[in-house]
Each structure stands twice: as C-alpha cells, then as structure tokens.
C-alpha cells in the first residue's frame, strides 16, 4: 500500500536522470578514448613521416596503404582478441571454461597472430612500389621505436599518478 502512483511518479524522473547521466558519462569516456587514439595516431604519423623522410609525393602514396593495413592489424591485434578475452573471462567466471573451449580459444588467438603477420607481409609488399626495401626496413624499425617510446611514456605517466 506504501507503493502508490505518487511514489512511482516521484522515482521516475530520478531513474531517468540516473540513466541519462550514466549514458552521458559512458559516451564522454568513449569520446576521450577516441581523442587519445586520434592524438597518438597523429603523433605516430608525424614520427614515421620524419623517420622515413617522406616527400609529399611519397606520403600521398604511402599513407593510404599504411592506414589500410593498420586498420586490419588493429582489428586482429586488439579488437578481436579483446572480445574473445571478455568471452573467456565470462566463461571462467561461470566455471564453464573447459579444455575444449580453451583449446579453441587458443587456436583463434593463433589465427589472429597469423592474420597480423599476413597483413604486415602484404603491406610491405604493397609498399615496395612506393619505398625502397631499406626504407621499408626503416619503417619496421621506426614502428618498434615508436611503440617502445609510447609504452615508456605511458609507464612514466602511470607512475606519476597518486
């Protein structure tokens, strides 16, 4: 009897506000993550352009090829494994992660690694029409150096937090 229309009317705006607030916060966090990724991508673009000493004509041909393969590589290195690992964590939490599921998951992860390798190989082959082999090797090294510097910066910033 204590739960009447007046009480429900009181709670509806509060619940709607909370849902909208949580949705807004989630969208804000996603936007911040997207901005960070875009900022890192811009820094990486500048770094690789400088390291490879790309002319404007080379850059015009290089970046579409590089970006095409970067999307594929990101998908197989980050997006797909992340989804798979979330599924594995859920199965593990429910006690449903058995040997056959684990084996299948491992095979999938190995397949993702093969796809990354194939994409890099295809990218390097396609870039041979744009850059010399020594400069493609320099690209490989520059990517490793950039990732190492990025990781060092992330660790440095992480250790400065309270």
Tens digits of per-residue pLDDT, 90-100? Answer: 888 888 888 88
Please say whether the beta carbons of 109 and 81 come within 8 A: yes
Lowest mean pLDDT among 43-52, 97-106, 112-121: 97-106
Q: What is the 3-state secondary structure (H, E, C) of the chain?
A: CCCCHHHHHHHHHHHHHHHHHHHHHHHHHHHHHHHHHHHHHHHHHHHHHHHHCCCHHHHHHHHHHHHHHHHHHHHHHHHHHHHHHHHHHHHHHCCCCCHHHHHHHHHHHHHHHHHHHHHHHHHHHHHCCCCCHHHHHHHHHHHHHHHHHHHHHHHHHHHCCC
pTM for this structure?
0.71
Q: Mean pLDDT over all residues of the chain? A: 87
pLDDT beyond 90 at 15: no
In the numeric block, the tokens 């709670």 are attached to 11
Write down the pLDDT at residue 1.
46
State how far the Cα of 119 lies from the Cα of 73, in Å rounded to an integer: 7
Q: Describe the crossing of helices 99-127 and 80-93 by its angle, rounded to 10 degrees.
A: 170
Q: What value does the mean pLDDT take over residues 47-75?
A: 94
pLDDT beyond 80 at 140: yes
């Amino acid at each position: 009897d204590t739960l009447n229309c007046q009480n429900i009317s009181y709670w509806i705006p509060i619940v709607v506000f909370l849902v909208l607030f949580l949705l807004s916060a989630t969208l804000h966090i996603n936007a911040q993550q997207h901005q960070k990724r875009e900022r890192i991508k811009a820094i990486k673009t500048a770094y690789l352009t400088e390291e490879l000493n790309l002319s404007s004509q080379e850059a015009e041909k290089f970046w579409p090829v590089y970006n095409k393969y970067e999307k594929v590589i990101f998908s197989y290195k980050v997006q797909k494994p992340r989804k798979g690992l979330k599924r594995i964590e859920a199965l593990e939490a429910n006690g449903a992660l058995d040997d056959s599921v684990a084996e299948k998951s491992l095979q999938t992860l190995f397949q993702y690694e093969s796809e990354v390798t194939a994409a890099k190989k295809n990218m390097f082959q396609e870039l041979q029409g744009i850059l010399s082999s020594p400069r493609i090797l320099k690209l490989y090294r520059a990517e490793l150096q950039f990732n190492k510097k990025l990781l060092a910066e992330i660790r440095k910033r992480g250790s400065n937090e309270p």
